[in-house]
Amino acid sequence: MVELERLLYLRLKQPNLRLGKFKQLHECMVRGETNAINTGQRIILPKSFTGGPRYMFNNCKDAFAIYKYAGYPSYFITMTYCLTIEFQKRGLPHAHLLLFMHPESKPRTVDDIDKVIKTEIPDKRENPKLYAAVEKYMVHGPCGHLNRKSQCMINGKCSKFFPKAFRDRTIIDEAGFPRYQRRDDGRTVSKKNIEVDNSFIVPYNPGLLLKFGCHINVEYTCQTSAIKYLFKYLHKGNDMVTAAFYQSNESQVDEIRNYYDCRYISACEAAWRLFGYPIQMKEPAVIRLPFHLPDDMPIVYKDTDTIQSVIETSFFKESMLIGWFKANEVHNDAKNLTYSEFPTKFVWNGEHHTWTHRKQGYAIGRISHIPPMNKEDYYLRLLLNIQKGCTSFSDLRTVDGVVYDSFKDVCYALGLLQDDREFIDAISEAGT
């Protein structure tokens, strides 16, 4: 019900906000239009709404920014926090963590992986506490031939691919995924009055398991094929089902109804949201850097505003990109930073619309995502990731003293584009 009230506020009680471009508004005023309600696009479910599609999309892109800065993540950790006897549709509340290790601590060999991740039952006499923790928290199922009625069984097979095959040593397969060491050493633990061996043990880290005393699955993740899957998995959002299909006569998509209809929120998730606990945490902080073409900066305004008042108010508010140009004119140390590197040394003052030197903390920048089909906007984004010390859009179009007519021509001159149809995948995905 609280979620419904929040959505009702967005639908009925918030100021009727619209989004338009400065150049478009100026053209409307020249044509004699005065009412802002006839321009721009209506904002319905903003990116600030926790759990909404724009919220999840932007957090996913923030994660890619950390990946660009720190390289591939080393470990993927899933951790259940608590215990309950309540029946829940979505299971226990849990956290998914991607852990980026320092370059000196990144696992580079299978021996490095074996030091961190275990998939075997410890010796009960030598380490009874760890043995008890593995028996209580890290046994899958049992399923397969031992229990064909297990919830993980689909069409007679375990959906999690247990039991795993025995293996004398850890290997990395052709796709880059680890196959952990699981020796047939004869050790067993009891789960649901069934004796199971190493083939049913979920990968774990002994130190974390003993420290937190809960189910905490640790996986090696340093493979290129899984990067996009991992980030999207972490930011997939809530579960929902479609109960019926129907044809709507409305011409405008109702984002609030699409978010709310058939959405399920469990008791645990409801309590988490009511207490206002965060559902996304990242370190270091990621600063989102919007950008725009000349005189094309986005402007948020109300339905009741006049176009002239919107233009006059916006004229004195510089965007973060224009502020970057101005900072390059004033600060000598700013000239060695690209737009995306700027938050590492400078902080954006939203009240005065200026960049100031960072006095504490650390943050990395992420230039807002734009698809390649947006042409000049996309080419501008590529340049903002490599050009330094620019004080104007003209500087961005300058290479070796030559001022090019378009951002696309500059990208060709710098070798950022292969041809009109094929773009460099790394630039498109990682924002480099």
Positive or negative: CA dihedral 20, 24, 30, 31 = negative
Edge-to-edge strand list for the sheet holding 75-80: 94-99, 75-80, 216-220
260-280 confidence digits (pLDDT tens): 776 777 777 788 778 888 777
Q: Euclidean distance between the first and final Cα of the chain, in Å? A: 43
In angstroms, what CA-CA distances link 196 with 99, 190, 199, 395? 30, 6, 8, 67
Residues 6+ apart with CB under 8 A from 406: 376, 379, 397
Listed in sequence order, the DSSP H helices in 161-254 are: 206-212, 227-234
Query: Which residues, in sequence order, are bridge partners of residue 244?
Result: none
Per-residue pLDDT in tens (0 to 9) along the chain, 432 residues: 777 777 777 777 655 666 665 555 545 555 555 565 555 555 567 777 777 777 778 887 887 788 778 887 888 877 767 443 333 444 566 777 888 888 888 888 999 999 999 999 999 999 999 999 999 999 998 999 899 989 899 999 999 999 999 999 999 888 778 899 999 999 999 998 999 999 999 999 999 999 999 899 999 986 655 566 666 666 666 555 555 545 555 556 677 777 777 677 777 778 877 888 877 777 788 899 999 988 887 777 676 777 776 666 665 678 899 999 999 999 999 999 999 999 999 999 988 889 999 998 889 999 988 888 888 899 999 999 999 999 999 999 999 999 999 999 999 888 887 554 444 444 444 444
